[in-house]
Chain A
Amino acid sequence: MEQFIQLLIGGIAQGMIYALVAFGYNITFSTSRSFNFSHGNFLMLGGVVGLILYINNQIPFLAMVLAVVLVGLLMGLILYKTSIEPSLKSKSNYAWILATLAFGIILKNMVEVFWSTDDFRFDSPLGNAPIRVMDVGVLPQEILIIVVALCIVVAVESFKKYTIFGKAIVAVSEDKNTASLMGINQQFVILFSFLLSSVIACLAGILVAPITMVGATMGTVLGVKAYAVSIIGGLESGYGVLLGGLIIGLSEAFTARYISTGYKDAPGFLILILVLLFLPSGIFGKTVIKKV
């Protein structure tokens, strides 16, 4: 029983890590039908900046968080100006994929060259000692990750539902042309979504760092898994991301324990394919009937 609960908690924590990253895909896809294929590398940058400031230079935690938010905003802006805006202007369907991939390659290589290729420890401000209840150990950081993931999703979903600007985002996601006729500045909404997505990625970087360690490659696998997570739940649903995270996180933990550690990833991907076969827009996705 302890084993089961231990696995459950590990799976949930891992799932929420995926969800945190997945959320970034979700936001920009809603507004621009595109997302940052190098999202994982943005997460990595947040982690690296956090490590340099907080661990290596000992600046206060909150000041570090603020700095990471600023880095996120800056990177979001650069990404938007150098990659997203030109790609959306050019009528090619694939430009944004290439642009964001290229951006990620540059980012990762720069971190490797100017900082380090190694992986580093990031001590959680909450301490590294697990909290132990009945033989089940939980890291304080894992609890924090779960709480933050829930908060971000609820915050962004309510933002979309209850604020004018949030409604504008939804409007753009549903019908670009009508939205712009109604006076919504589409470009700005898209820019805003990329800024938000990139800030969340960078924050996720410091949040997951104590679990994953910090290094130039910390975001690569996370980025791909999170992509799967965002799709299972439905790209346009915040709550879907949480569910998708749980599905992948738990399936990995339980497969590794009870089936085979080698096939750990397989059931998650099988579930993904099956879900999409029956629900082509993900679990919470809206299937739109195209009018002809």
Chain B
Amino acid sequence: MKKNVLAKLMGVALIIVTVATSFRPSAGDPIKVGVYGPFSGGSAPMGLSMRNGVRLAVSEINAAGGVMGRKIELVERDDEAKNERGGQIMQELLFKEEVSAILGPINTGVADASTKYSNEKKVPQIINVAAGAKVNDLFATTPDNYIFRIAANDYVQSEMIVREALQKRKFKKPALLCDDTNYGQGGRAKMEAALAKRKITPTSVGKFKLKDTDMTAQLQEAKAAGADVLLVYGIGPELAAIANNLEKIGWKVPMIGGWTLSMSNFINNAGKNGNGATMPQTFIENGVVNGKAAKFLAAYKATYKEKNIPVAVAAAQGYDSVYLLKMAIEQAGSTDGPKVKAALENFKKGYTGVTGTYKKPFSATDHEAIHETNVMMGVVKDGIVVPPIK
């Protein structure tokens, strides 16, 4: 009996060895770049828009002759928004596919579970959506930090949301309502901190889960506490449920929240109830004046045949992250991780992208491309996001 088990174990070991050895990475001409994010499941709209933005930029670059004469080859992996898949995928991208750089992910938890592998292997990673993931915080423990971000992080977003509510619009009693994901709770903590700085405590702090559709209880709590503005942090569908429930219980209160209020699944599902929702934006589809952004929009719509980009911000940031990477590789003259990192930290040329103009997006101590100056407040108006009325 015993030998059966042993034989079995051995068999498995042998299979793994053969499988493993047959997948030896091959050195090829193209520059391999890993992209990961949720391409299935509830967060997929963000992941897919990001991936479309990335794909668009890569096809443009390749059509124009590539980077230093080499084509970019994307290695795409679906992390299903699961932390543990994120860790496994990153190891696959870094150690098996041996990519030169990594773009993504979307979910804060996935990022926190997996960015350490980039640092370990010294491969630059540009986070292009996850707002809550640790980036500059990593310097404390990892001075040699390879993680960069082009997305309005939670500090920036929370500060802007709170300023909009308290200073600009003079509300006195904010109530917080955040989803119970990493993203929502990170936002909650940072909004609380931003409020505390102004010596204000929220009248109530509510929480909701993904796929919740009945927000009556949370809203009643906020209403009973006498709130005059709702600061929300969540993703599209649940934010839409909040807007619709506000209408149901007959409470007219303004909503200010994270960039996700611009997701098409918020705008469409909330309908007229979404009007007036205000959020920080790095890119506003309908406010495009900048030539580059207009070109991006036209190309995006032509390529993917979408009337509106489901998550325009993710697409724009995904697109820009590729160009930042391309310029850094060209400046470094190599795909070697430390060299590309150094180039990213010390941009010589400056870059005008879809989400704004970056003279020197990163520095050796600041890996955040987006600061408050790059961000504007957008407002939902009749099915689209428009720049604020000056």
Determine whether A and B are in direct contact in the complex, meaning some CB atoms lie less than 8 angstroms apart: yes
A→B interface (CB under 8 Å)? 3, 6-7, 10-11, 13-14, 109, 112, 117-121, 128, 130, 132, 135, 137-139, 211-213, 215-218, 220-221, 252-257, 260-262, 264-265
Instruction: Answer whether A119 and B265 are a contact pair too, CB < 8 Å, given A112-B40, A128-B271, A262-B180.
Output: yes
Write out, one digit per residue, whether chain B residues 264-295 have a CB within 8 A of any chain A CB (1) or not (0): 11001101000000000000000000000000
Interface centre among B180, B236, B244 (most CB of A within 10 A): B244
Chain B interface main SS type: helix
- The answer on a CB contact under 8 Å between B220 and A3 is yes
- The answer on a CB contact under 8 Å between B217 and A257 is yes
Assembly CA distance A109 to B244 (angstroms): 28
- The answer on a CB contact under 8 Å between A261 and B218 is yes
- The answer on a CB contact under 8 Å between B216 and A6 is yes
Write out, one digit per residue, whether chain B residues 144-168 have a CB within 8 A of any chain A CB (1) or not (0): 0000000000000000000000000
Q: How far is the CB of B129 from chain A (nearest CB, A)?
A: 15
Q: How far is the CB of A136 from chain B (nearest CB, A)?
A: 8
Q: How far is the CB of B224 from chain A (nearest CB, A)?
A: 7
- The answer on a CB contact under 8 Å between A221 and B211 is yes
Interface size on B, residues (CB 8 A): 37
- The answer on a CB contact under 8 Å between A256 and B248 is no
What are 23 residue pairs bridging A and B, where the CB atoms are less than 8 Å apart in the complex?
Answer: A6-B249, A7-B216, A10-B214, A13-B214, A112-B44, A117-B39, A118-B44, A118-B265, A119-B269, A130-B247, A135-B250, A211-B213, A212-B213, A213-B213, A213-B237, A215-B265, A217-B42, A221-B210, A253-B217, A257-B216, A257-B218, A257-B220, A264-B217
Assembly CA distance A14 to B310 (angstroms): 28
Residues on the B chain within 8 Å of A109, using CB: 40
Q: How far is the CB of B359 from chain A (nearest CB, A)?
A: 36
Judge whether B105 is part of the interface by a CB distance below 8 angstroms: no
Assembly CA distance A118 to B249 (angstroms): 26
Residues on the A chain within 8 Å of B41, using CB: 112, 117, 216-217
Residues on the B chain within 8 Å of A7, using CB: 216-217, 220
Residues on the A chain within 8 Å of B216, using CB: 6-7, 10, 253, 257
- The answer on a CB contact under 8 Å between B213 and A261 is no
- The answer on a CB contact under 8 Å between B48 and A117 is yes
- The answer on a CB contact under 8 Å between B207 and A121 is no
Q: How far is the CB of B353 from chain A (nearest CB, A)?
A: 25
- The answer on a CB contact under 8 Å between A6 and B220 is yes
Write out, one digit per residue, whether chain B residues 193-235 have a CB within 8 A of any chain A CB (1) or not (0): 0000000000000111111011011101100100000000000
- Kindly list the 3 A-B residue pairs having the minimum CB-CB distance in the complex, ordered from nearest: A117-B44, A256-B217, A257-B217
Residues on the B chain within 8 Å of A14, using CB: 213-214
Assembly CA distance A139 to B249 (angstroms): 10
Residues on the A chain within 8 Å of B209, using CB: 221, 264-265
Q: How far is the CB of B227 from chain A (nearest CB, A)?
A: 14
Assembly CA distance A120 to B271 (angstroms): 11
Judge whether B45 is part of the interface by a CB distance below 8 angstroms: yes
Interface centre among A11, A119, A128, A130 (most CB of B within 10 A): A119
Instruction: Answer whether A139 and B248 are a contact pair too, CB < 8 Å, given A217-B211, A261-B207, A261-B208.
Output: yes
Residues on the A chain within 8 Å of B237, using CB: 119, 213, 215
**Sample of 4 further A-B pairs with CB below 8 A, known A139-B248, A252-B214:** A14-B213, A112-B40, A117-B40, A262-B180
- The answer on a CB contact under 8 Å between B217 and A119 is no
| B46 nearest CB neighbor, chain A only | A117
Q: How far is the CB of A261 from chain B (nearest CB, A)?
A: 4
| B38 nearest CB neighbor, chain A only | A117
Residues on the B chain within 8 Å of A118, using CB: 44-45, 264-265, 310
